Amino acid sequence: MKKRSLFSLLMLVIRRDLLLALRCRTDVLTTLVFFVMVVSLFPLGVGPETDMLRKIAPGVLWVAALLSSMLSLGRLFSADYLDGTLEQMLLVPQSLSVLVLGKMVAHWMVSGLPLVLLTPVLGLQFDMSVEAIGVLILGLLLGTPVLSMLGAIGAALTLGLRGGGVLLSLLVLPLCIPVLIFGTGAVGAVTAGLNYSSNLSMMGALLVLALTFTPWVAAQALRISME
């Protein structure tokens, strides 16, 4: 059997997971509907005061994005675990880290990217400026992949455990705090008229670190869970 290159293997895993996600559109729609409902309820509860809405908008959108991405993390490896595909992934001579990275990318494209695309419309509910919405979108593009990668580690560690969903949340949420801080800080800097590039630079650094280490860590966690 001809050994695939790492890039072709990565694209194969991404394509496979995207096709599986399209067959289960309900899971994707659940994430989007949850995100829209959480964000939309806050203006109704807080009231029509525009100053207050502008202040809470970054935190509300980031927390809603985090919670929405958490909904689908439990299914990241569970389907492959139940049908035996994951065992085959552990046995093949190709790099398990590349396989895991492909699943991370596919998870972000299904659960993270749609949230970013919805953000401009939802930001208008909070009377956000065009510049603030632009910085928020850029921050989400940098931060949501990190959420998926960190979540993959938690999903790998809790694979097959009873009550793993609760444990997954306890493991992942503390790790996501830096992303939330820098993401909301960038938009807050725009509102205050300050320079926001430092916050986005930190998020870019977090993304590079996540791309470097999380596939390997998640792969090792999968090996431990399967033993």
DSSP state of 74: G
In a domain, 188, yes or no: yes
Residues 6+ apart with CB under 8 A from 2: none
Domain containing 32: what range? 6-226
What mean pLDDT value characterizes the chain? 88
DSSP state of 73: G
In a domain, 42, yes or no: yes
Of 8-12, 76-80, 136-140, 216-220, which gets the smallest average pLDDT?
Answer: 76-80
Cα gap 80→209, rounded to integer Å: 27
Indicate the pLDDT class of residue 2, thresholds 50, 70 and 90: very low
Q: Per-residue pLDDT for 24 more than 80? A: no
Cα gap 126→139, rounded to integer Å: 17
Indicate the pLDDT class of residue 80, thresholds 50, 70 and 90: confident
In a domain, 182, yes or no: yes
Tokens of 116: 């970013």
Cα gap 177→185, rounded to integer Å: 12
User: What's the confidence (pLDDT) of residue 1?
Assistant: 37
Tokens of 184: 């909301």
In a domain, 25, yes or no: yes
Tokens of 22: 């399209």
The burial of 80, by beta-carbon neighbours within 10 Å (0-12 exposed, 13-18 middle, 19 or more buried), is given as buried
In a domain, 56, yes or no: yes
In a domain, 172, yes or no: yes
Q: What does the longest C-alpha to C-alpha distance in the chain come to?
A: 65
pTM of the model: 0.90
Domain count of the fold of the chain: 1
Indicate the pLDDT class of residue 163, thresholds 50, 70 and 90: low
Cα gap 7→21, rounded to integer Å: 21
In a domain, 121, yes or no: yes
In a domain, 1, yes or no: no
DSSP state of 194: -
CB neighbourhood size of 171 (10 A): 17
Cα gap 82→226, rounded to integer Å: 12
